[in-house]
Amino acid sequence: MKLLLRWMTLVVGLIATAGFAQTPAITITDDAGKTISLAKKPVRIVSLSPGATELLFAAGAGDRVVGTVIGADAPEAAKKIERLGDANALKYERLKALKPDMIVIWRDMTHELVLESLQKLRLPIYQVSLRNFDDMPRSIRRLGQLAGTESVAEVTAKQIEGRIAALPKRPVAKVTAAAPELFFMMWDVPLYTVGSRHLMNDAILRCGARNIFDDIDFPAPIVEFEEIKKRNPDVILMGAPPITSRDWRERWSQFPAVTAVAARQVINFVDIRLTRMGPTAIDAVPALCEQLKPMRKGALRR
């Protein structure tokens, strides 16, 4: 009888232990609202976005990142992480060889075909998404929960909240009719710009202008040249190195009917921090505002 009781106790203990082992250790919600259940905190993370990589470091999880993409150059320590191509041309075999237990992507900045390929790896995927600067502290706190670095993430998030509070305020209501309308040219072929879900859009608003494509609920849409001419921006802001922007400016000079071209308000913005969309983007806003300050709506040719 005693032997039977011992045997039953052992069986019950094994069942309880097995059930406990199958219970996820953590359940988190990413920026896209997706719930992710994990058996343990991830210790090997692949980050497929420069901005997401910067946010992971800000959350205290930089030492967990074993692979990232081209352009993930902030902070300085991120430059030492292995590159796996870019977000839309990945080295999948190398990615698998790194044996990550979490993949972090930027929602809507990752092509659907790439996302399908990543899902086939059967690894948990965490999505980062920022619509404006005010979303950044919350995103950092969530990444801290993901990595188990909540205390570091909380300190950083509070610091960032202070830095954001020091920026020019975003208009509460619709921008005034006097605000210059701006087209941000991120790339030429195809013509990439920014929509309402990009930090550059928030920065433009804070600097007293209006993005002509703020009606597109997407971070980086492709637009048609004819549509740009139709919306007729007062300012064209080119996010490119000096040599490239010089070529773009020469091409724009062929279209004097565009107000920005006629007013010679075709300018370059060389700071890549805003397009990377990590915490250092905050520090790029004052210079952008200073550059846009002399721009005027419907300015006459000078």
Mean residue pLDDT of the chain comes to 88
Which of 58-62, 114-118, 142-146 is the least confident region? 114-118
Q: Is the pLDDT of residue 23 over 60?
A: no
Q: Is the pLDDT of residue 20 over 60?
A: no
Among 281, 263, 279, smallest CA distance to 271 is for 281
Higher pLDDT, 102 or 299: 102
- Residue 110: pLDDT band by 50, 70, 90 thresholds? confident
Burial grade of 165 (CB within 10 A; 0-12, 13-18, 19 or more): exposed
pTM: 0.86
Among 255, 287, 259, 294, smallest CA distance to 272 is for 287
Which of 58-67, 84-93, 130-139 is the least confident region? 84-93
- Residue 211: pLDDT band by 50, 70, 90 thresholds? very high
Cβ(61)–Cβ(126) below 8 Å: no
Higher pLDDT, 145 or 22: 145
What is the mean pLDDT of the segment spanning 174-192? 85
Q: Give pLDDT, residue 170.
A: 83
For 198-210, the pLDDT digits (tens) are: 999 999 999 999 9
For 2-13, the pLDDT digits (tens) are: 554 455 545 445
Dmax (CA) for the chain in angstroms is: 102
Q: Which domains does the chain have, with CATH numbers?
A: 23-165 (3.40.50.1980), 181-292 (3.40.50.1980)
- Residue 181: pLDDT band by 50, 70, 90 thresholds? very high
Cβ(168)–Cβ(85) below 8 Å: no
